Amino acid sequence: AFASFKEVLLDGLKNGYAVGQFNMNNLEFTQAIVEAANEEKSPVILGCSEGAIKYMGIDYTVAMARVAAETAKVPVILHLDHGPSFEYVVKCVRAGFSSIMIDASHYALEQNIELTKRVVELCHPLGIEVEGELGRIGGTEDDLTVDERDATLALPAEAKRLVEESGIDALAPAIGSAHGVYVGTPKLAFDRLEEIRDLLPTTPMVLHGGSGIPDEDIRKAISLGVSKINVNTENQIALTQTIREIFAKDAKVYDPRKYLGPGKAAIKEVVKEKMRLFGSSGRA
């Protein structure tokens, strides 16, 4: 069975570490992520966006994650990443997801609270916990693109209202990180993160756009209350880079296992490094 999202995050918050959410893109990602978690003795969150679910098929997605959770020796969670609507959340809950993110951050605050609260009211009675988002996280993830000019930081007073009025279990406040590959070095608004943490000291916070953020900034974010960090792009790059090198060296290779195998191993290495950086290694 899948582990409890809230329990895993609260343990991180209490003990000063963050749990990684690593996105599933296919079987190789799923295996690499869970093998890394086993070897690092770390809890792990398998994240899946609408775009990735569309690619894999929702039943295959849940089935792969279930096998991973059943065979793992560590807590495994299957989390909907950036849930786009109430209807889509219902679909994922029915299919067997164990926790949900509803991303209503593009709406005005009142509507964000309203939709997020509806999702909480659907999920909580089923034992499913919920992450909400406030402010707008820039960059591109799958089908979701937020132009840099439209990216906005979360406001502390609004964060407090969203958490208290919707009843969410974790909050993803936009603090200057972005999805995809950074142009230059990202500048995280730690003062903003600290203000939000002071208003909501018991709420686990989520850092999206975790790829490409310098290690010292990751450590600082964790010290200020971040207990979940999302990583996808760095794993995608590791896989693709490895395959590119193999193709460059051997133009005749045709057996997919000959390049997907090393690609999978490259993802696993990235995930293990992140688990050590986040401090989740040895926590399960």
Q: Which residues are catalytic?
A: 81
| By the rule CB under 6 A, 211 interacts with ligand G3H | yes
- When binding is defined by CB under 6 A, the residue of 233, 242, 280, 281 that contacts ligand G3H is 233
Q: What b/e sequence results for 259-278 when a residue is b if at least 16 CB atoms lie within 10 Å of its CB, and e otherwise?
A: bbeebbebbbebbbebbebb
Are 197 and 205 contacting, i.e. CB atoms less than 8 angstroms apart? yes
192 or 208, CB closer to ligand G3H? 208
228 or 264, CB closer to ligand G3H? 228
Query: Tokens 């990180």 correspond to what residue?
Result: 177
- Contact segment (CB under 6 A) with ligand G3H among 30-38, 124-132, 226-234, 239-247 equals 226-234
Looking at residue 281, the DSSP 8-state letter turns out to be: T
Q: Give the span between the Cα atoms of 260 and 254, in whole angstroms.
A: 11
Q: Give the span between the Cα atoms of 273 and 252, in whole angstroms.
A: 32
Question: Rounded to an integer, what is the distance from CA 210 to the centroid of its chain?
Answer: 9
Using CB under 6 A as the criterion, what x/- string covers residues 191-210 for binding ligand G3H? -----------------xxx
234 or 246, CB closer to ligand G3H? 234
- When binding is defined by CB under 5 A, the residue of 79, 192, 208, 283 that contacts Zn ion is 208
Q: Which of residues 74-133 bind ligand G3H (CB under 6 A)?
A: 81
CA dihedral sign of residues 256, 257, 258, 261: positive
- When binding is defined by CB under 6 A, the residue of 200, 231, 243, 277 that contacts ligand G3H is 231
Which residue in the shown chain puts its C-beta closest to Zn ion?
208
Q: Which of 195, 66, 79 is nearest to 132 (CA)?
A: 79
| By the rule CB under 6 A, 230 interacts with ligand G3H | yes
CB of 147 to Zn ion, least distance (A): 16
Q: Where are the alpha helices (DSSP H) in the chain?
A: 5-15, 27-40, 50-56, 58-71, 86-95, 109-123, 156-166, 190-199, 215-223, 233-249, 256-278
| By the rule CB under 6 A, 43 interacts with ligand G3H | no
Residue 164: count other Cβ atoms within 10 Å of its Cβ. 13
151 or 199, CB closer to ligand G3H? 151
79 or 208, CB closer to Zn ion? 208
CB of 231 to Zn ion, least distance (A): 10
Terminal CA-CA length for the chain:
15
- Tell me, by CB under 5 A, how many residues bind Zn ion: 1
232 binds, among Zn ion, ligand G3H, none (CB under 5 to 8 A by kind): ligand G3H
- Tell me, by CB under 6 A, how many residues bind ligand G3H: 14
| By the rule CB under 6 A, 138 interacts with ligand G3H | no
Are 151 and 123 contacting, i.e. CB atoms less than 8 angstroms apart? no
CB of 250 to ligand G3H, least distance (A): 29
Looking at residue 150, the DSSP 8-state letter turns out to be: G
